Each structure stands twice: as structure tokens, then as C-alpha cells.
Structure 1
Amino acid sequence: MDVLSAMGVFVRVVDLKSFSLAAAEMGISSSSVSKQVSQLEQHVGAKLLQRTTRRLFVTDVGAAYYEKCQTILEEVEDAENLVSQLQGKPRGILRITCNMTFGQMQLSKAIPEFMDKHPDVQVDITLDDRAPDLIRDGFDMAIRIADPQLPDSSMIAREISKIPMYICATPTYLETHGYPECAEQLKEHNCLVFVYAANANQWTLERNGKRCTVPVSGDLKANNSLVVRESVLHHRGIANLAGFVISRFVKSGDLVQVFPDHQPELLSIFAVYPDRKYTSPKVSAFIDFFREWLEINHKEDLWAEVVH
């Protein structure tokens, strides 16, 4: 039995609370997962997991052993990262999680170029607007959009760019319902909300150094900004959306900025990854690449007007 490999299987079973999910993630059979955990229990001479027909429980011994296995596996990964750093060549599987719309509209375009530059790296991407547990869920890094200051955590967060948020509507909506002359008048309008945005229910405007934050509400809330954008394009209300989401519609005249003389709120794009002794070359390479890619590909659009 490969004890280190069995430890890795055991840790994923505990993380996912499922033999079958761990098997699917690791690309092996459920019987192989069960066999490796059983062999590990025989090796240590203790029951690590208890299974019923409905649930999986970690024994007290199993919980303590799990913590030690995590530490050992992280040390092994650090050692491999150190060797990779000394060799200086990114390689292996890079597991990334990213916000849904940003991943669809931006990250998806950057990935093929990154893989062309680094043929020894395979990429595994999960798009999800909910913030994952990177270590539990087995991700190397996350690309997240948030306020300029992320909460303190055990993760390292590197800001790689900024995203301006624009309050926008169609000319038809504004002609019908009136143009708000100040931020406070947004309370009188149907404000369509992207619920996962850091500024979902409170929109901020700045002019001449003065900031104003206004609570907003409306008849649509969605967990995807493209759903919100479609309702705005159908003259349903006003929304506060990222520059990359609306740029081409502003250029075509389908959407207009509601407060063009105000400084839009800026959110930050962070690369987030576990705080390890040695950062994997594949992670460092992707962060450097993606920062440069964003700068090059947004030189002349609505995003660039504010950020650069």
C-alpha cells in the first residue's frame, strides 16, 4: 500500500463526506477508494470512519489523524513546489475557481492563451459565485471580485486589477421614468440587483471627492449579472453592473450611464490562494499572466477609461 496516496484519498473522503464523490473527483472507482481507506485503517490499527446507509462519520481518532494527514500532504506539496520553483517551469494541474460571469466573459478567453504559453499545465476550472473553501474543495487558487479590502483570512489575496461598476439603464426607461438627478432619487426607481455583488443592495457614487451610498430595491434580484443585464435591456429598470458586462451595449447606445459625471465605484479582482511556504510556479505563472492579459485586453474599452 502507498501510505501517502491512501492519506490523500482519506482526506478527500472526509472533505467531501462521501466515498463516491471522492472517487469521482480523483478519477478512480468507489471500490478503490473504500479499499485504500480500509488498508489505511489496518495500517494505523484504528477505525477512522463509520458508515451507515445514509451518512459517513469521522471517529475521534479519524478526526485527529485527518489533521495530521493534512499537514503531511501540505508539506509534501510544499516540497514539490520548491523543486518546481528551483526548476522554474510551471507544470501539473491548476485548479481554479472563479465568479460565474467574470469566468464566462473574461477568464474563459484568457485560459487558451495561458495554456499555449505553458503546455505542461493542465487547467481545471469551476465557475461559482459562492466563495469556496479552497483547501477543503481542492483548489489551487480563486479569482474573486470584491471590495478593495478582503476580510482577514488564512489566504493570500493579491489584487490583479480593478473593475468599475456603472449605474446604467436604457434611454427608453429613462425617458419614461425620468432621469435621477442625484443618488437619493434612485430610491424612486426600480433598481435591479445582482445579489452576489459586494455592493448588491447599496450603491455608491463619488463626485468631487464626496461619496454617497444609497440603499436600493426593485422587483428583480438574481444571482447572475447577465440575467440582470437582460432585464435592463428590456427597459425594466436601473442596474449597477461591471464595466465588462455592459461595455459593448454602452458603445452601441443600447445602455447609457445614469450618472456619467460621477466616479463609478471600483471593485477589486483578487487572486486568492492558500498561505503556503512555497507558492507553486503554476499559480505564480497564472497570476502574472492574467494580470498582464487584463491590462492588454482592456486598453480601449469602458473598463479602461476608469482603471488605467
Structure 2
Amino acid sequence: MDVLSAMGVFVRVVDLKSFSLAAAELGISSSSVSKQIAHLEEHVGARLLQRTTRRLSVTEVGSAYHEKCQLILAEVREAESLVSQLQGKPQGVLKINCNMTFGQLLLSKAIPEFMRLYPEIQFEVALDDGDVELLKEGFDLALRITNPRLPDSSLIAREIASIPLFLCASPTYLAKHGRPETPEELKDHNCLVFMLATNTNVWTLSNRDASHVVQVSGDLRANNSLLVLQSVLADRGVANLASFVIQSYVDEGRIELLLPDYQAERLSLYAVYPERQYMPPKVSLFIEFFQGWLSENLQQTLG
């Protein structure tokens, strides 16, 4: 029995909670999956899965073994990637987790360009705004805007870009409600809040003289900046959004920037990855590429 291969089958069965789905993904028969799991259980001397006609569950031993298998398989992929790099051909699957909106608007554009340079590297990308356990979930790299939480000391967070925020509203909203001329006047406006930003409903604006902290409020709080953007476009109020979210609408004149003499906060984009003696070449290559790509494609000024 190929233990590593059986570990890979076991991991996919647990992740997908199905023998048949794992078989389909791996391109083998369900009977082959069953045999490999049975051989693996015999090899380790413990029941890893509980199977009935209706339900598949992981035993306590199986859950612990699943976590270790993920780490082992990640190390194997790293070793293979290192060898391929030394041979001059970076290859393998790069698994990335990224913030939802940032991934949709920017990462999605950068990946095809990277793949043209390194055609032997494939991607698996998951977009979500929650915390991610890199090692447990098998990711090589996470991209997180604002300071990420790093409960695991084995992780490294490297800042790779600075992202400016801009106060904005639609021309129709401003014609109806007036244009704020000072930060304090924002209190008189319907301010649309992106809840996952560190600033939330406390906005800080700075000019040459001082910083102004304003407590804002409004009728919309959302955990997705694209939802906030749509309310801005629907003439609902004022928002404080990242440049890459509003750039095209500012260029089209559908959104106007407010308080041009004041600078809103800046967010940071971090590359988060496991601390290892040898970073997989596919990870280091992509981080360096993406940092350069952002310096050319992420606008720091608008209007």
C-alpha cells in the first residue's frame, strides 16, 4: 500500500464527507476509495471513519489523524515544489485564501498574468472574509486586508501593499443632501458602514493640521463592501471605501470623492503564510509577483 496516496484519499473523503465525491474528484472508483481507507485503518491499527448506509462520520482518532495527514501532505508538496524549483521549473498547486471583494476585483486579474509566466503552477482559490487556519485547511497562502489575527505563532504576516480609503457619494445624493465641507458635517449624513473594516463606524480623517475622528451613523451596515458600493450608487448615502472598489465608478463620474483636503485611513494587505525553513518556491514567486503587480495596478489617488 502507498501510505501517502492513502492519506491523500482519506483527507479528501473527510473534507468532502463522501466516498463517492472523493472518488469522482480523484478519478478512481468508490470501491478503490473504500479499499484504500480499509488498508489505511489496518495500517494504523485504528478505526478512522464510521460508515453507515446514510451517514459518514470521523472518529476522534480519525479527526486527529486527518489533521496530521494534512500537515504531512503539505510538507510533501513543499518538498516536490522545492525540487522543481531547483530544476528550474516551478510547478504544483498553489492554494490561496483571500478576502472576498479584493479577490474578485484584483486577485482575479493578477492570477492569469502569473499563470502565463509560470504555466506549470495551478491554482486553488477560496474567497471569504473569515479567519482561516492555514495549515489545518491546507492553504499555502492567505491574503488579508488590515492587520490579520495570528493566533498560531508558526504563521508570518508580511505587508505587501497599502490600500487607501476614500470618502465618496453619488452626485444625486450630494445634490439632494448637500456636500460635507468638514469632517464634523459627516454626522449630518447617512453614512454607509462596511463592518469588517477596522474603522467600522469611526472614521479618521487627516489634513496638514490634525487628525479628526468622527463617529458616523446610517441606515446600512454590511460585511461586504460591494453591497455598500451598490447603496452608494443607488444614492443612499456616504461611504468610506477602498480605492479598488470605487475606482471605475469615479472614472465614469457615477461617484464623487468628498473632502479632498483630508486623507482617510489606509489599510494594509498582508500575505500570511506558514513559517518554514524553506518557503515553497511557488509561494515566494507569487508573493513577489503580486507585490509588483499591485504597485502597478492599485491606484493610490483617484479623481
Give the TM-score, by structure 2 length. Answer: 0.86
Q: Note if contact 1:18-1:56 (Cα within 8 Å) is conserved in structure 2.
A: no
Structure 1 pair 86/208, CA: closer, same or farther in 2 (3 Å)?
same
3-state SS of the aligned residue for 2:301? helix
3-state SS of the aligned residue for 1:305? coil
2:145 aligned residue: 145
Q: What CA distance in whole angstroms lies between the structure 2 residues aligned with 1:26 and 1:199?
A: 44
Matched, 1:56 2:69: no
- Could you say what the CA RMSD is over the residues aligned between the two structures, in angstroms? 2.7
Q: What CA distance in whole angstroms lies between the structure 2 residues aligned with 1:227 and 1:46?
A: 49
Matched, 1:216 2:216: yes
Q: Deviations over 1:4-43 (max 9, x none)?
A: 1112232344455554565565555554433322110112
Residue identity matched to 1:193: V
Pairing 1:227-306 to 2, within 5 Å after superposition: 227-298=227-298, 303-305=299-301
Residue identity matched to 2:180: P
2:165 aligned residue: 165
3-state SS of the aligned residue for 1:304? coil
Q: What CA distance in whole angstroms lies between the structure 2 residues aligned with 1:237 and 1:174?
A: 8
Q: What CA distance in whole angstroms lies between the structure 1 residues aligned with 2:136 and 2:114?
A: 26
1:119 aligned residue: 119
Pairing 1:6-21 to 2, within 5 Å after superposition: 6-14=6-14, 19=19
Q: Note if contact 2:81-2:90 (Cα within 8 Å) is conserved in structure 1.
A: no
Shift of 1:231: 1.5
Q: Deviations over 1:180-222 (max 9, x none)?
A: 3443433332111233333333322222363333343322233
Give the TM-score, by structure 1 length. Answer: 0.84
Pairing 1:22-41 to 2, within 5 Å after superposition: 22-23=22-23, 26=26, 28=28, 30-41=30-41
Q: What CA distance in whole angstroms lies between the structure 2 residues aligned with 1:38 and 1:140?
A: 30
3-state SS of the aligned residue for 1:173? helix
Moved more, 211-220 or 120-129: 211-220
Q: How many corresponding residue pairs?
A: 300
Q: What CA distance in whole angstroms lies between the structure 1 residues aligned with 2:263 and 2:249?
A: 19
Matched, 1:79 2:73: no
Q: Note if contact 1:15-1:136 (Cα within 8 Å) is conserved in structure 2.
A: no
Shift of 1:250: 2.2
- Residue ranges of structure 2 left out of the alignment (5+ in a row): none
Structure 1 pair 184/100, CA: closer, same or farther in 2 (3 Å)?
same
Moved more, 251-260 or 50-59: 50-59
- Residue ranges of structure 1 left out of the alignment (5+ in a row): none
Q: What CA distance in whole angstroms lies between the structure 1 residues aligned with 2:285 and 2:139?
A: 16
Q: Note if contact 2:81-2:92 (Cα within 8 Å) is conserved in structure 1.
A: no
Shift of 1:97: 2.2
Shift of 1:161: 0.9
Structure 1 pair 276/18, CA: closer, same or farther in 2 (3 Å)?
farther
Residue identity matched to 1:90: P
Q: What CA distance in whole angstroms lies between the structure 2 residues aligned with 1:126 and 1:34?
A: 28
Q: Deviations over 1:90-125 (max 9, x none)?
A: 101122222222222211221221111111112222
Structure 1 pair 18/58, CA: closer, same or farther in 2 (3 Å)?
farther
